[in-house]
Structure 1
Amino acid sequence: MNLSLAKAFPIDTSNRYGRADRSAVGRWFWEIDRVLLLLVAVLIAIGLVAVAAASPAAGQRYSGGSVTVAPLYYFYRQTMWLAVSLPIMILISMMPRERLKRLCLIGAAVCLVAMVLVPLIGPEKNGARRWISFGFAQFQPSEFLKPLYIVAIAWLLSLKEKDKGLPVMLLSGALTGLVAVLLMIQPDFGSTIIFGTVWVVMIALAGANIRILAGMGVGGIVGVVLAYFLYDVATVRIDGFLFGEGDNFQVENAMRTLTAGGLFGMGPGGGTRKFHLPEPHTDYIFSVIGEEFGLIACMAIAAIYCAIVVRVLVKLLDEDEPFAVLAAAGLACQFGLQALINMAVNVQLAPSKGMTLPFISYGGSSMLALSIGMGLLLAFTRRNPYLKRSPYVVKWSGERPTL
């Protein structure tokens, strides 16, 4: 009788994707943070729905003369970019940390060279030069530099553990200053703020002296004031935001669009104000979501971004490798800050920045760069289920470590 049952209902003894599976995919499945991966998947699904909702408005806006853009043109292209980006994200998340470190250092150097070339050979769009064109596609080096720069800075700061005499803060500051100058030339004031803020967060985690951090805070305020008086882009944006001077139509219209749907929205495809937004599928897609799916949906999206950042920081509490802590914290900060800035612009709490909403806004360079960054984040938060880690204990010696 038992033999008959065994033949009728054979048991799979291969333990595929079980804890005993030592294949590359099996190890990845058990080591990856599946909650973090699920949150990202939810954002991507929301992004597809949002781009489909915004695509008709964007298609109508960019149709003119002999050019006709199909209503779902941007949705189809976003699906194509996702088909390319998601395998890249999974592949990166499966790589060992040392290999990723080397690849990121090489990639950061390549992107820096590309950013030097952008003002020289890049096409101009809406008064800015941020891309390198290849005819069939455009490449925005600053988007790809964001995650690669963070890993490079994390590696540089982690060298302090091996040689206390290395001026790592000075070197990382010089690299950040170079990136800031290249971004201001484009001009891209929003990305400059992100790079600078992430750098300050990372050196704070690395143990920078409080007096140095306070000095940087004062320096940041002075920098913004100087930018207001000396940098035309900053002057126009700040005047429009604070005093309503100049063309402040974009952020005001975005706010009206976002609140037009009330708590529950007008339903998919029911929005009308989105047809008057300048960039409904990219910069102002959060307002399109508010109009068609309601303020509750917007709050849920904000909660997902917050959950991703908090999830990463909690995972780092038992991480004992300084490089991994700095890299993952920097990537989480950049991800959360970019989302925060985009949403703040849409609710009229910040001047227009031209920044996409991570994994929701349309964009090829943005989607690829975000997938690379999230792949790195997933790789740096991987945990061996058989390795017992002790809680991260800080021993206070009476003095604050300095760089």
Structure 2
Amino acid sequence: MNTPAARIRSSVSARLGRSDRSAFGLWFWEIDRFLLLLVFILISVGLIAVAAASPAAADRYSGGNVTVAPLHYFWRQLAWVALGIPVMIGVSMLPTQIARRFALGGAAFFSLMLVLVPLIGSQTNGARRWIGFGLAQFQPSEFLKPFFVVSLAWLLSLRAHDRTLPVIPLSGLLTGLVAVFLMKQPDFGQTIVFFTMWLALLMLSGISTKIMGVLGAAGVVGIVMAYLFYPVAKLRIDNFLFSEGDTYQTDSARATLTAGGFFGTGPGGGEMKFHLPEAHTDYIFSVIGEEFGLIACIAIAVLFLAIVVRVFVKLLDEEDPFIVLAAAGLTTQFAVQALINMAVNVNLAPSKGMTLPFISYGGSSMIALSIGFGLLLAFTRRNPYLTRSPYVVRWSKK
């Protein structure tokens, strides 16, 4: 049938055939389209969740002469998504070498920005984590995470060429310096994420179990020292373990999460969300639980797990140590951040102010995650002709 729709499909198929050697054509056949589909589903879920949480956030920030429209945060998030998706696609089209250089340059720039935060950063809710004003305001640590993990992956991959290089202590020193500036903000949650990424990369790079044991013991000592000498860590741990101090946030999050039961109250039917302090960011997972039910929360957790499993399965036949470390490190960063946010919402971890990737509201978070996932897609690209079995290759040459 020669309908307009059929002609369009035929035209698209012709343009995206395997013989298409354009930049977009090569990208289309080399990209992991299933992984791309999963992240698009996650972004779509995020828009629905922000729309559900936006009235509660608008109500919280309205007062005096300030009136915030009920869907104010949804429309802003939609704008960030419209900016983030092209960024993700653009980064995913970079060749591996250029993507690595891009990450190294980004790590250097945002490390400098992180150093400048205590000097020129703006203070919000008792923490100084942001640079800039208005829409130009951004959080350097959010952007540094994907760039830093790729830089560590490149550094540790050098061991495959020369095992005498002191890359392990150097990577530890760099991670420690980042941690110092994060704790000055203070940002204990991001500090944990950076250390977790470093430890995951060390394990994947093949260091001995003895060294991992020493690092594990050092991590326990570090947590104890933080509890004794770092007031923010002590406050968070005391609130979590002993219910001391103000536990309003975590108590409200758990109550909101369970208020909708298994199937939820329905879109817009939640009432407990209006008692949450940051319904559209830190505690959006609880809003999803109230309005869409625990079944929706389970589905989101499975979606995150599917992304992690997909990447690690693809890496099973990868031989380039840098690609393995970079892709695994980016996935670890993505997974740890999601796990921490969900754990806080169900009261299994102290409150850390960590967003849920691609679901929580936030410009810095959305653009930084788009860059990170774009790098992940770039590093997991495969030439479909190189994955054929020898039999198929020989057969095709006859």
TM-score relative to the length of structure 1: 0.93
Report the equivalent of 1:203: 202
TM-aligned CA deviation for residue 89 of structure 1: 0.1
1:274 aligned partner, one-letter code: K
1:123–1:132 CA contact under 8 A, matched in 2: yes
Percent identity among equivalent residues? 67
1:40 aligned partner, one-letter code: V
Provide closer, same or farther for how the CA distance between residues 349 and 265 of structure 1 changes in structure 2, counting only shifts above 3 A.
Answer: same
After the TM superposition, which residues 1-400 of structure 1 pair with which residues of structure 2 at under 5 Å, given as runs?
15-388=14-387
Tell me the distance in 2 between the aligned counterparts of 1:280 and 1:12: 45
Q: Deviation string for 1:151-186 (max 9, x for gaps)?
A: 100111111222232100011111000011011101
Provide closer, same or farther for how the CA distance between residues 12 and 369 of structure 1 changes in structure 2, counting only shifts above 3 A.
Answer: closer
Provide closer, same or farther for how the CA distance between residues 335 and 14 of structure 1 changes in structure 2, counting only shifts above 3 A.
Answer: closer
1:266–1:294 CA contact under 8 A, matched in 2: yes
1:318–1:389 CA contact under 8 A, matched in 2: no
1:52–1:74 CA contact under 8 A, matched in 2: yes
Provide closer, same or farther for how the CA distance between residues 154 and 389 of structure 1 changes in structure 2, counting only shifts above 3 A.
Answer: farther
Tell me the distance in 1 between the aligned counterparts of 2:201 and 2:388: 23
Provide closer, same or farther for how the CA distance between residues 81 and 266 of structure 1 changes in structure 2, counting only shifts above 3 A.
Answer: same
Tell me the distance in 2 between the aligned counterparts of 1:75 and 1:217: 42
TM-aligned CA deviation for residue 64 of structure 1: 1.1
Provide closer, same or farther for how the CA distance between residues 368 and 158 of structure 1 changes in structure 2, counting only shifts above 3 A.
Answer: same
Report the equivalent of 1:397: none
Mean Cα deviation higher: 120-129 or 295-304: 120-129
2:268 aligned partner, one-letter code: G
Q: Deviation string for 1:58-85 (max 9, x for gaps)?
A: 0010011111111000000000001111
TM-aligned CA deviation for residue 103 of structure 1: 1.1
Q: Deviation string for 1:341-391 (max 9, x for gaps)?
A: 00000000001000000000000000000000000011111110000378x
TM-aligned CA deviation for residue 12 of structure 1: 6.1
Tell me the distance in 2 between the aligned counterparts of 1:235 and 1:210: 30
Is there any run of 5+ residues in structure 2 with no aligned partner, and where? 390-398
Helix, strand or coil at the partner of 1:129: strand
1:120 aligned partner, one-letter code: L
Tell me the distance in 1 between the aligned counterparts of 2:128 and 2:24: 41
Tell me the distance in 1 between the aligned counterparts of 2:12 and 2:47: 39
Q: Deviation string for 1:128-164 (max 9, x for gaps)?
A: 0000023443110000000000110011111122223
Tell me the distance in 1 between the aligned counterparts of 2:301 and 2:343: 11
TM-aligned CA deviation for residue 305 of structure 1: 0.3
Higher helix share: 2
TM-aligned CA deviation for residue 123 of structure 1: 1.1
1:186 aligned partner, one-letter code: Q
Helix, strand or coil at the partner of 1:327: helix
CA RMSD of superposed structures (Å) = 1.7
Provide closer, same or farther for how the CA distance between residues 102 and 13 of structure 1 changes in structure 2, counting only shifts above 3 A.
Answer: closer
Tell me the distance in 2 between the aligned counterparts of 1:13 and 1:373: 29
TM-aligned CA deviation for residue 21 of structure 1: 1.3
1:258–1:346 CA contact under 8 A, matched in 2: yes
1:328 aligned partner, one-letter code: A
Tell me the distance in 2 between the aligned counterparts of 1:15 and 1:77: 37
TM-aligned CA deviation for residue 13 of structure 1: 11
TM-aligned CA deviation for residue 207 of structure 1: 1.1
Tell me the distance in 2 between the aligned counterparts of 1:184 and 1:247: 21
Tell me the distance in 1 between the aligned counterparts of 2:94 and 2:135: 30
Tell me the distance in 1 between the aligned counterparts of 2:70 and 2:274: 12
TM-score relative to the length of structure 2: 0.94
Tell me the distance in 1 between the aligned counterparts of 2:12 and 2:144: 46
1:255–1:287 CA contact under 8 A, matched in 2: yes
